[in-house]
């Protein structure tokens, strides 16, 4: 087992990983930018190293500085968390070349699943259900031609994309003329890769994803599904496990096909396969995230496991401690992402947190990386905390997450707590009538 783990990240996910490491008797190293010198993750790690100024390219994306921090502190492994360098195959390769263990998938895994067009091709070969779509598009004219074959409307997507960047809904060929160069420019800025493709657009889809854990020795665990349909600008706001629309039969069917795909593609560590469900209940593969997800706590609660601990054990070559029998969720969990942003416009809202009181009580978990007196910097994602309610039934979980959000006090900056209160009070949410367009009707 590792003696010391460096976490190449910040905020709540860095703190989340440190907690598991400390429970396992592993020393921890935080890296931080100068504006994060007083961040909670730097204060609760065993050691902390400043790796540059505030902007992410000069700090949390600065690979030489991160590797140097690992070397001077004597770390023997690196956990990337999510975001930043977590799906960067080159970073994983450099980590290994420097004698460090990368706690996550292999560079080969990232390469084959990280590019969305390659992932679609791989998914088709491995038998995963797939939506109609195109290959790489040359220009707007080519895109309009391919979209016409598929049938409008289509979704234009960045091949290397994520987080909603480079995504456009296109309803006719005329719209494609302006949308294609805009999406391409967004993709170049966001991912340094302007490749685009399109796929059939589902008007009222549900976003369903499946958590996997693979030990690289033939052991594959498909740990059920999460519903992530409530989103703003293609970014998730509320997630739950399990989903009200996934039957035991559908779950078992998907577990079989996903497990087979993971074994055949030699996948290692934690990962998430994301699907869209159309109005008829058909699932189609969208993408795979080769990292731990923001919303992993809801799976942990209904599965009774620590996904980070299993990731660490796999990377260290130790046996996974999960049972072999098919997964069956135990209870229900719902997560709300509390962001530093205007609840109406979603504009980021950095600044000084004056007061912070996280929720507590039976069945409530809060993963957070902030405190009263912390200044939220403008350079990074706006996520402040994840508030999770757990219960034996969905109704009980809904009651707990509503109470937990009502108890959440965070002043000095604007947050989306009031938006979560509106979502949780909505009749459609209570009844499980969800889609990715939920907020349009709120």
pLDDT in tens, 275-287: 999 999 999 999 9
User: How many distinct structural domains can be found in the chain?
Assistant: 3
CA dihedral 129, 130, 131, 132 (to 10 degrees): -130
How confident is the model over 201-213, as pLDDT tens digits?
Answer: 998 999 999 999 9
* C-alpha distances in Å from residue 209, one per residue of 50, 229, 246, 340: 36, 10, 11, 26
pLDDT at 434: 97
**What are the tokens at 247?**
């039957």
Q: What percent of the chain has pLDDT over 70?
A: 100
Whether 162 is covered by a domain: the verdict is yes
CATH number at residue 146: 3.30.1490.20
If asked whether residues 49 and 172 sit together in one domain, one would say no
pLDDT band at 441 (very low <50, low <70, confident <90, very high): confident
Whether 361 is covered by a domain: the verdict is yes
Domain containing 20 equals: 4-103
How many other CB atoms are there within 10 angstroms of residue 34's CB atom? 13
How confident is the model over 341-350, as pLDDT tens digits?
Answer: 999 999 999 9
If asked whether residues 362 and 429 sit together in one domain, one would say yes
Domain boundary among 183, 200, 217: 200
* C-alpha distances in Å from residue 52, one per residue of 36, 41, 66, 261: 10, 16, 10, 40
Q: What percent of the chain has pLDDT over 90?
A: 92
Overall average pLDDT of the 169-185 stretch: 95
Overall average pLDDT of the 337-363 stretch: 97
pLDDT at 115: 86
Whether 139 is covered by a domain: the verdict is yes
If asked whether residues 161 and 225 sit together in one domain, one would say no
Domain boundary among 150, 169, 200: 200
pLDDT band at 196 (very low <50, low <70, confident <90, very high): very high
Which amino acids are annotated catalytic? 291
If asked whether residues 155 and 282 sit together in one domain, one would say no
Mean pLDDT for the chain? 96
If asked whether residues 161 and 226 sit together in one domain, one would say no
Whether 404 is covered by a domain: the verdict is yes
If asked whether residues 165 and 250 sit together in one domain, one would say no
pLDDT at 233: 86
| 3-state secondary structure (DSSP) of residue 223 | strand
pLDDT at 9: 98
If asked whether residues 90 and 159 sit together in one domain, one would say no
Whether 126 is covered by a domain: the verdict is no
Whether 127 is covered by a domain: the verdict is no
If asked whether residues 90 and 218 sit together in one domain, one would say no
Contacts of 35 (CB under 8 A, 6+ apart): 53, 54, 375, 377, 379
Whether 420 is covered by a domain: the verdict is yes
pLDDT band at 234 (very low <50, low <70, confident <90, very high): confident
Whether 118 is covered by a domain: the verdict is no
Domain boundary among 200, 218, 240: 200
If asked whether residues 212 and 268 sit together in one domain, one would say yes
pLDDT at 284: 96
Least confidently predicted of 6-15, 74-83, 136-145, 185-194: 185-194
Can you give the pTM of this predicted structure?
0.92
Q: Report the candidate in 173, 137, 136, 139 with the shortest Cα–Cα distance to residue 153.
A: 173
Residue 373 pLDDT exceeds 90: yes
* C-alpha distances in Å from residue 435, one per residue of 14, 102, 190, 235: 31, 36, 26, 13
pLDDT at 323: 87
Least confidently predicted of 187-191, 352-356, 379-383: 187-191
If asked whether residues 57 and 189 sit together in one domain, one would say no
pLDDT at 166: 82
If asked whether residues 260 and 346 sit together in one domain, one would say yes
How confident is the model over 118-167, as pLDDT tens digits?
Answer: 998 999 999 999 988 999 999 999 999 999 999 999 999 998 877 678 89
How confident is the model over 35-85, as pLDDT tens digits?
Answer: 999 999 999 999 999 999 999 999 999 999 999 999 999 999 999 999 999
If asked whether residues 263 and 345 sit together in one domain, one would say yes
pLDDT at 161: 75
Helices (H), 214-295: 248-264
CATH number at residue 231: 3.30.470.20
Check if the beta carbon of residue 216 is closer than 8 Å to that of residue 314: yes
Q: Report how far residue 164's alpha carbon sits from residue 118's, in angstroms, rounded to the nearest whole number.
A: 19
pLDDT band at 391 (very low <50, low <70, confident <90, very high): very high
Strand partners of residue 410? 356
């Amino acid at each position: 087992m590792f003696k010391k783990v460096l976490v190449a990240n910040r905020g709540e996910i860095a703190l989340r990983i440190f907690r598991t490491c400390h429970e396992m008797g592993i020393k921890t190293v935080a890296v931080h930018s100068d504006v994060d010198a007083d961040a909670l993750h730097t204060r609760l790690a065993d050691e902390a190293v400043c790796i540059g100024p505030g902007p992410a390219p000069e700090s949390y994306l600065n690979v030489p500085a991160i590797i140097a921090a690992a070397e001077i502190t004597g770390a023997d492994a690196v956990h990337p968390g999510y975001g930043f360098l977590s799906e960067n195959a080159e970073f994983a390769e450099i980590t290994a070349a420097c004698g460090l263990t990368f706690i996550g998938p292999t560079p080969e895994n990232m390469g084959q699943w990280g590019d969305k067009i390659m992932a679609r091709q791989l998914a088709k070969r491995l038998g995963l259900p797939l939506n109609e779509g195109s290959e790489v598009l040359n220009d707007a004219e080519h895109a309009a031609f391919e979209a016409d074959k598929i049938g409008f409307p289509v979704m234009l997507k960045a091949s290397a994309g994520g987080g909603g960047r480079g995504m456009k809904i296109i309803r006719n060929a005329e719209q494609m003329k302006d949308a294609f160069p805009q999406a391409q420019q967004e993709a170049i800025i966001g991912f340094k890769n302007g490749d685009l493709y399109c796929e059939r657009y589902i008007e009222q889809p549900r976003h369903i994803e499946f958590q996997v854990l693979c030990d690289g020795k033939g052991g594959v665990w498909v740990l059920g599904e999460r519903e992530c349909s409530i989103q703003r600008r293609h970014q998730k706001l509320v997630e739950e496990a399990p989903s009200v629309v996934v039957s035991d039969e559908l779950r078992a069917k998907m577990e079989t096909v996903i497990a087979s795909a993971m074994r055949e593609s030699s996948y290692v560590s934690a990962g998430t396969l994301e699907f869209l469900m159309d109005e008829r209940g058909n699932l189609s593969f969208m993408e795979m995230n080769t990292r731990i997800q923001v919303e992993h706590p809801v799976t942990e609660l209904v599965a009774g496991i620590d996904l980070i601990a299993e990731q660490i054990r796999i990377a260290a070559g130790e046996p996974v401690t999960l049972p072999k029998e098919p997964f069956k969720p135990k209870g229900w969990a719902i997560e709300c992402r509390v962001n530093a942003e205007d609840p109406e416009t979603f504009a980021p809202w950095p600044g000084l947190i004056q007061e912070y009181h996280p929720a507590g009580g039976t069945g409530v978990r809060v993963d957070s990386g902030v405190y009263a007196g912390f200044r939220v910097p403008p350079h990074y994602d706006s996520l402040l905390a994840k508030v999770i309610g757990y219960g034996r039934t969905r109704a009980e979980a809904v009651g707990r997450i509503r109470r937990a959000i009502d108890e959440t006090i965070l002043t000095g900056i604007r947050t989306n707590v009031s938006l979560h209160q509106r979502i949780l009070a909505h009749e459609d949410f209570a009844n499980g009538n969800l889609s990715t367009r939920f907020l349009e009707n709120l």
